[in-house]
Amino acid sequence: LQLVGKYIQPETREVNGVLMTKIMSDNWDKIWNFQAKPDDLLIASYAKSGTTWTQEIVDMIQNDGDVQKCQRANTFDRHPFIEWTLPPPLNSGLDLASKMPSPRTLKTHLPAQLLPPSFWKENSKIIYVARNPKDCLVSYYHFSRMTKMMPDPGSWEEYIESFKTGKVLWGSWYNHVKGWWDAKDKHRILYLFYEDMKEDPKREIQKILKFLEKEMPEEVLNKILYHTSFDVMKQNPMANYTTLPTILMDQSISPFMRKGMPGDWKNYFTVAQNEEFDKDYQKKMAGSTLTFRTEI
């Protein structure tokens, strides 16, 4: 119970201006000094941008479309989430990563400026996935309601403000997507968009294949397409987080595989909220070449 107490609706604290859980911030030295390896593959994203989807695609590619192998463990045990710190004896991301044989595939939500520098030094490959802010916000809001491992989102109105001002875990969405967008010009980063994946998943899987320097027969590619579709992943207990106890994620409040559709934000934003959001967005994204589609 004491363990659970530290874990449920955790205290938060900033690390270099970016909000994290207190337990992550207490562990920050270890996270920052994480030793990446040249053959690590890192899947990076802002929360709720299609991380789990990308993880499933990558795992299916690495296992040549073998569904059974991809069901060997939960998403979160297949790919250590490096900064995610849990009270012992639970496995933190760093513990899982250190026990995992190479080549490893890892996950992070850290903004580029807080990525452990060994990833840059070792030139590990990185796949970044970004999602338009309105759908990301809606997804993050519902996720924050159902998971007890994150701060309570408050009301919808309050949450829009928290998101816009970056007062949510992993900080500002705007700085996150821009920071990684700039990083891709200097490092081996494949920068993907959730909306592109939804529009033409085959094309995007082919981009990942090329980035991973792999080829595969059309039939395997089609199998991967099928098994990483929203409807199939929603039914896959090794991908949909339903193996976690209700005390950590209450999927009756909102399922992890919730909607999986670009444009769902229209069901939540009022006209006024949308206008204000757009105005603020223009300010925060001014000068960047990065653009998003809020529907497809």
Residues with catalytic function: 109
What distance separates the 2 farthest-apart alpha carbons in the chain?
Answer: 51
- State which of positions 130-149 bind ligand A3P (CB under 6 A): 135, 139, 142
Q: Which of 50, 111, 166, 171 binds ligand A3P (CB under 6 A)?
A: 50
Residue labelled with tokens 């875990």 = 169
Contacts of 116 (CB under 8 A, 6+ apart): 31, 32, 33, 34, 36, 82, 110
Interface with ligand A3P, residue 105, by CB under 6 A = no
**What length does the chain have?**
296
The interface region with ligand A3P, picked from 23-31, 46-54, 155-163, 202-210 by CB under 6 A, is 46-54
- 92 or 240: CB nearest ligand A3P: 240
Distance (Å, whole) CA 106 – CA 92:
13
228 lies in the binding site for ligand A3P (CB under 6 A): yes
Work out how close the CB of 273 gets to ligand A3P at its nearest, in angstroms, rounded to a whole number.
Answer: 18
The least CB distance from residue 153 to ligand A3P, in Å, is 13
3-state secondary structure of 245: coil
Site for ligand A3P (CB under 6 A): which residue of 24, 48, 104, 173?
Answer: 48
Cα 155 from Cα 225, distance rounded (Å): 37
In the complex with ligand A3P, the residue whose CB is nearer, 39 or 295, is 295
**Residue count at the site for ligand A3P (CB under 6 A)?**
20
Integer-rounded Cα Rg, in Å, for the chain is 18
